[in-house]
């Protein structure tokens, strides 16, 4: 009953406080969801500031609609225009090796073999080559590195 009484007296500053709390939550739980909810709450606060007679049901409906719209729009935008980063392959270990040169520690037979890189052993595909051959990683498919021999320098 008290919640209903509180909802009936929602004011613009309640929405601004909710917006502030949601944006602060974004700092502790990043993922760009709370930020958009906070922006929606701030927008509802601005609407209520200009139209203080707006019923609480309409305020909550507006908040719900703005929350969904802001999250959907941001996801679509970020999917079509991803954020630039100086480490695009940070969580893609295999992609970090593309273009690098290594020395085979095991021979490749039948187009398949294994190669040790740093502290990991990777499956490799490429032409049959003896152990000790210098190779370059040209591509990655799943967890398999595609290699080719590097020309002698």
| pLDDT tens column, 68-99 | 999 999 888 888 887 676 665 556 666 778 88
Domain assignments of the chain as residue spans, ordered by start: 2-80, 93-149
Q: Which CATH number fits domain 93-149: 3.40.640.10, 2.40.50.140, 3.30.420.40, 1.20.120.160?
A: 2.40.50.140
- pLDDT(20) > 80: yes
- pLDDT(17) > 90: yes
So what's the pLDDT on residue 117? Answer: 84
- pLDDT(3) > 70: no
Q: Which residues contact 76 (CB under 8 A, 6 or more apart)?
A: none
State how far the Cα of 29 lies from the Cα of 103, in Å rounded to an integer: 43
Give the distance, in angstroms, between the CA of residue 88 and the centroid of all CA atoms in the same chain.
11
So what's the pLDDT on residue 100? Answer: 86
So what's the pLDDT on residue 152? Answer: 74
State how far the Cα of 98 lies from the Cα of 94, in Å rounded to an integer: 7
Q: Could you tell me the end-to-end alpha-carbon distance of the chain, in angstroms, rounded to an integer?
A: 81
Smallest Cα–Cα separation from 47: which of 59, 64, 37? 59
Predicted confidence (pLDDT) per residue in 102-146, tens digit: 888 888 889 888 888 888 888 899 899 888 889 999 988 888 889
So what's the pLDDT on residue 2? Answer: 61
So what's the pLDDT on residue 90? Answer: 57
This prediction has a pTM of 0.54
């Amino acid at each position: 009953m008290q919640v209903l009484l509180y909802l009936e007296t929602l004011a613009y500053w309640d929405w601004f406080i909710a917006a502030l709390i949601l944006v602060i939550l974004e700092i502790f739980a990043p993922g760009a969801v709370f930020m958009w909810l906070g922006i929606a709450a701030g927008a509802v606060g601005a609407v209520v500031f200009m139209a203080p007679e707006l019923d609480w049901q309409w305020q909550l409906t507006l908040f719900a609609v703005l929350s969904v719209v802001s999250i959907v729009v941001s996801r679509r935008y970020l999917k079509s225009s991803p954020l630039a980063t100086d480490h695009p392959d940070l969580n893609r270990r295999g992609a970090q090796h593309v273009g690098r040169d290594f020395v085979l520690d095991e021979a490749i037979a039948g187009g398949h073999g294994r190669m040790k890189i740093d502290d990991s052993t990777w499956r490799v595909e490429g032409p049959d080559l003896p152990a000790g051959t210098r190779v370059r990683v040209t591509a990655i498919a799943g967890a398999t590195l595609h290699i080719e021999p590097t020309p002698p320098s």
